[in-house]
């Protein structure tokens, strides 16, 4: 019996894709505190990550080696519009509206893709984020 040369290639490709896939939890491992939103990234983000929430830029505490979670605390119940951006990553969804119920938090899985682009010169520094009273955003491992 003679095998076609494509068959071994398909077997190797299937094994590599199976072993290379990581599972991202679609539900949080512990309950999300009230007034919080947790963005769970599919890949570690190197940052810097910029977050705009309800039209105001929120300062994000960055980690030097990257993170997989962005936790936003101190939000009031109701609808909140967000926009996520970074110089090194692309997010999906990168913007949207979340309805935060009273007494609960939100867990949002965010697809992440690394963008290694070549920039000539240095970008202009962004002004300091003004933030919202009582709202904090932190990148976590």
At residue 137's C-alpha, the angle toward residues 79 and 40, to 5°, is 80
- What domains sit in the chain, N to C, each tagged with a CATH number? 25-140 (2.60.40)
Residue 138, pLDDT score: 93
In the chain, the percentage of residues whose pLDDT exceeds 90 is 55
User: Tens digits of per-residue pLDDT, 75-133?
Assistant: 999 999 999 998 889 999 999 999 999 999 999 999 999 886 666 767 677 778 888 88
* pTM, to two decimals: 0.78
Is the pLDDT at 17 greater than 70? The verdict is: no
Average pLDDT over residues 8-31: 66
Structure confidence at residue 25 as a pLDDT band (50, 70, 90): confident
């Amino acid at each position: 019996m003679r095998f076609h040369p494509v068959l071994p290639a398909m077997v190797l490709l299937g094994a590599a894709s199976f072993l290379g896939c990581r599972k991202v939890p679609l539900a949080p491992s512990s309950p999300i505190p009230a007034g919080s939103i947790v963005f769970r990234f599919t890949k570690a983000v190197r940052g810097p990550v910029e977050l705009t929430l309800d039209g105001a830029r929120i300062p994000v505490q960055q980690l030097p080696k990257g993170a997989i979670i962005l936790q936003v605390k101190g939000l009031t119940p109701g609808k909140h519009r967000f926009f996520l951006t970074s110089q090194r990553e692309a997010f999906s969804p990168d913007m949207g509206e979340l309805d935060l119920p009273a007494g609960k938090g939100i867990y949002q899985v965010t697809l992440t893709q690394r963008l290694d682009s070549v920039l000539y010169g240095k970008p202009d520094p962004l002004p300091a984020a003004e933030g919202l009273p009582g709202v904090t955003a932190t990148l976590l491992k």
